Chains A and B, each alone.
Chain A
Amino acid sequence: MKRFSRVNLLLLLVVLLLAVAPVALGLGSGDEPFAGADALAEQAIVDNHPDYEPWFSPIYEPPSGEVESALFALQAALGAGFLGYYFGVARTRQRLRGSAAKPPRE
């Protein structure tokens, strides 16, 4: 493997390791290990300010955790799909230019 690909792979591996290590080491705690930080912040507010009433509620809420995770997956898929499209276009463009610069082989 070329150095370029090796470094890229290494970058991905480190990202993967950073995400998996906390779970593998069992760092989760409390009633719900690895809960969202946003939810924890909400809880902290409610604990310290029990009289605070959220004055506005979401206009739409996904009916279940499943639907919510589907929408999150959709968001990631849209983004990843477009990134893939971009790199496909860029790569093809580069390749076509490369073959145009070289004299055609007989």
Chain B
Amino acid sequence: MHIAEGYLPPVQAAAWFAVSAPFVVHGSRALVQQVRRDPETKLLLGAAGAFTFVLSALKIPSVTGSCSHPTGTGLGAVLFRPPVMSVLGGIVLLFQAVLLAHGGLSTLGANIFSMAIVGPWVAYAVYALIRRVGGSLDVAVFAAAALGDLATYCVTSVQLALAFPDPATGFLGALVKFGGIFALTQIPLAISEGLLSVLVVRLLTRVSGDDLRRVGVLRTPAVQA
């Protein structure tokens, strides 16, 4: 979903920076507070970042005959709330922009907005909603991660359609085109990301229930074994 270096007109690139900046600043505060309030969760925080690192490095073939990669930000959003992910996701995007020429510095603002802001917020909203109506943890995590992933790629499609409207059919035509390239390709990958996030949460429930209780994902008191 990374918009390549230089592929947004300067004004729009700057606008996306302006939109994303407050989220990242607020997220950095939230991250510092999280670590200060509960230093025990530092390791889990690292694991959430690591999950994003792995998933966004995996380019996976999809049904549309092209390749794309998951984002991995939904899991962290569920564990640590979306603001924290705006920083962790931003770090991943920066790493890829600087070292891999994947994405770019000029488009960093736009890419942070899609992958590190909208994706995590959609994931968290879906998670909170499903938990509120009594859905199981597995179902909530799956839907959160999958829809957060998909939302990221929908935002990228909108961003590109705004920047490059189709000469004949305008914004909507371009949206359909970029949506076909990104969002459609992403559907099986979003399902994969959902399944992998569920897998990680299952393992976490098994071996580090205390960490999950600390971040409020598990509410039941510890069982004395």
Interface SS majority for chain A: helix
Asked if B207 and A91 sit within 8 Å, CB to CB, the answer is: yes
Asked if B104 and A56 sit within 8 Å, CB to CB, the answer is: yes
Q: How far is the CA of A72 from the CA of B102 in the complex (A)?
A: 10
Q: In the complex, how many angstroms separate the beta carbon of B205 from the nearest chain A beta carbon?
A: 10
The count of A-to-B residue pairs whose CB atoms sit within 8 angstroms is 183
Asked if B6 and A38 sit within 8 Å, CB to CB, the answer is: no
Q: Which residues from 162 to 177 on chain B have a C-beta closer than 8 Å to any C-beta of chain A?
A: 164, 166-167, 174, 177
Q: How far is the CA of A61 from the CA of B104 in the complex (A)?
A: 11
Asked if B4 and A42 sit within 8 Å, CB to CB, the answer is: yes
| Minimum CB distance partner of B60 in chain A | A19
Asked if A42 and B7 sit within 8 Å, CB to CB, the answer is: yes
Q: In the complex, how many angstroms separate the beta carbon of B182 from the nearest chain A beta carbon?
A: 6
Asked if B59 and A8 sit within 8 Å, CB to CB, the answer is: no
Asked if A56 and B67 sit within 8 Å, CB to CB, the answer is: no
Q: In the complex, how many angstroms separate the beta carbon of A87 from the nearest chain B beta carbon?
A: 6
CB contact under 8 A between A86 and B47, given known A8-B203, A48-B164, A57-B6 = yes
Asked if B67 and A36 sit within 8 Å, CB to CB, the answer is: yes
Asked if A41 and B104 sit within 8 Å, CB to CB, the answer is: no
Residues of B close to A94: CB separation below 8 A: 207-208
Asked if A28 and B65 sit within 8 Å, CB to CB, the answer is: yes
Asked if B2 and A58 sit within 8 Å, CB to CB, the answer is: no
Q: How far is the CA of A8 from the CA of B204 in the complex (A)?
A: 12
Asked if A15 and B196 sit within 8 Å, CB to CB, the answer is: yes
CB contact under 8 A between A44 and B177, given known A15-B196, A54-B6, A79-B52 = yes
Q: How far is the CA of A54 from the CA of B58 in the complex (A)?
A: 26
Give the residue of A18, A44, A55, A79 whose beta carbon is less than 8 angstroms from that of B178: A44
CB contact under 8 A between A19 and B192, given known A27-B63, A37-B67, A44-B178 = yes
Give the residue of B10, B61, B208 whose beta carbon is less than 8 angstroms from that of A22: B61
Asked if A56 and B6 sit within 8 Å, CB to CB, the answer is: yes
A interface footprint on B36-50 (CB within 8 Å = 1, 0 otherwise): 000000011011011
Asked if B43 and A89 sit within 8 Å, CB to CB, the answer is: yes
| Minimum CB distance partner of B160 in chain A | A41
Asked if B54 and A79 sit within 8 Å, CB to CB, the answer is: yes
Asked if B106 and A8 sit within 8 Å, CB to CB, the answer is: no
Residues of B close to A40: CB separation below 8 A: 66, 181
Asked if A11 and B196 sit within 8 Å, CB to CB, the answer is: yes
Q: Is B57 at the interface (CB under 8 A from chain A)?
A: yes
CB contact under 8 A between A75 and B57, given known A55-B6, A89-B43 = yes
Q: List 21 A-B contacts (CB under 8 A).
A: A4-B202, A8-B202, A15-B195, A22-B62, A27-B65, A30-B65, A34-B66, A41-B181, A44-B177, A48-B166, A55-B10, A68-B100, A71-B100, A72-B59, A72-B100, A73-B57, A75-B56, A78-B50, A83-B47, A83-B51, A89-B43
Binding site for B on A (CB under 8 A): 4, 7-8, 11-12, 14-15, 18-23, 27-30, 33-38, 40-42, 44-45, 48-49, 52, 54-62, 68, 71-73, 75-76, 78-83, 86-87, 89-91, 93-94, 98, 101
